[in-house]
Structure 1
Amino acid sequence: MIPFFRKKGNGKPKMEGNESTVSSEDLLNESADTASSEKQIDTDLSVHPEWTISKEDQYSFQFLNMECPPLKPNQISLSGISLQHEEAGQYQITAFIRSSLNKTIKLHETTLVLLDSSDNVIGRKTMDLEEAGDIPPRSSRPWNFHFTDQDLFTKDIPEEGWKLAFQLKPSSRKHSLDLQDSWEQSLAEKDKNQLQEMVEKLDPPKSGEVNFMGLKAVHKEEGDLHVTLLVRNGSAKSINLEQIPLQVEDANGEVIAKGGFTLKDFGVKANTSKPWTFIFPKEMVTDGELDLSSWKAYPVQKNAAH
């Protein structure tokens, strides 16, 4: 076995890969634990009982584990530590298996994918992860994953910015709600549950499709128009939206508001829907009474403007 870490100039270990996260419900096919009210969960280092490692490696794993961001309840993640090329077409990927669950879990045969920094799949392998042993509650277990040239789709393997991820079976991935942190913190649990139920009852978007569904439109006394939409991602990849040109039509099919919105760090995870409120200032809204008994909002192409 090759070393876990490459030596850095400052002598400190560094996470060379990124983190991928799935819900325990999707991966383990079991109901989520709703008892915990915590929004963020830190994981404690858990080295496999049969591993014998040096004090230096123990310190390095402890240091890197503390660098990992907290998990949300009912999440399991893979956090990339290092990807090293062994001889004869062998690759060793070291990553943390992290769990925020309040109980011990055990993984079984699972398909893993290796992604580059743009989330393109550059490798795939089915592995039996029972050897990783029992993963204690709220813990982070370092483990080595071995790939060969036959498991990889390219010879251009990045040393940094890659990601190891669980490949979920399509049948186990139901479309779910994704909330921005600000919404997660401000929405009442009752409202979150209503949104989740609505998302689950709706027909999911087609595979690879991204669309917008209207939830609420309010014309304020000062003239602003507040439009809440559900951004629905039917893709198997997360998307990041930076600029959205939107227009709104009223019950008569007339365009009553039009404008461009610049978003910061607005990502929508794969196979999820995320609500967001877009505020059209008074100057972007048609004068007079608006018939909002029915309405729709949708993105427009720049070249579609007349």
Structure 2
Amino acid sequence: MSNSPQKYKTEINFSNDWDISTQDKYIFQFFHQQLEDLEANQLHVHGVKLYKVESSIVVTAILRHSLPKKLLLEQVVLLVKNKDGKELAKKQFDMALFGELEPCTARPWKFLFEEADLLVPLDEIENEMDFEMAFEYYEKVISDFELYLDENWSNGLTVDQQGYVKNLVSSLEPIKVNEISIVGFHFEESEQAVNIFIIIRNAFSQALTIENLPIQLFDATGDIVCKLGFPIGEFQIASKQARPISLSFSKEVFQKENPDFSSWKIEMVPQTL
């Protein structure tokens, strides 16, 4: 008895939004027939033809899938490579016009890679050269967060300080959808404690209420100085919002003697959040 995975043959389909000649349909059908069958639940792109247009390249390709349900693509990132695997171009495409694919269906499409999308000089790319295509999978991220300062923060910060925090929020790296991010931005040390100001960002689609915030503090050597769970009441943060909060780490609970705070970082302890 064979344990090899089941294979699925796709059926080619042409978009109503692409005015394609009968001859080109036969060409795509020929290429499609040469492709190997897919295993279950695969999404595949096969490059058919590449040609240069001024300082850009146009690639025709066949996208196909073996999902048991309809497929609606929103955004895809495509890579063009030469036969040695060297990346030639990369671009994120809006697939709104591509339309919906029935289960186990293939559809040809054209993709324009402009000069800014090329990863090599244009003269390294030849018309109708042998090439390969691949998806670069990515996760959706959020970069546009609105800073929220409650009354205490608004009254406690000068206009310049508020501007600094706002600029900081806008300069932070994007985070993945459905994640919480914390970033420390100010550090104060006294004889008894270390006080740190942090920014919390909420990339969930709904508001969150945080009652306990588990944080670990690292020193310049990368050692954990301490790990604490901060009961912060009912700290509410709206979707796509950034809020500052201050935390105090008592030196009595430090795990490391004489930590080096010439640099430092903080992280959440996700498993206990």
Q: TM-score range by the shorter chain?
A: 0.3 to 0.5
Greater Rg over alpha carbons, structure: 2
TM-score calculated relative to the size of structure 2: 0.46
- Which structure shows the bigger proportion of residues in strand conformation? 2
TM-score calculated relative to the size of structure 1: 0.41
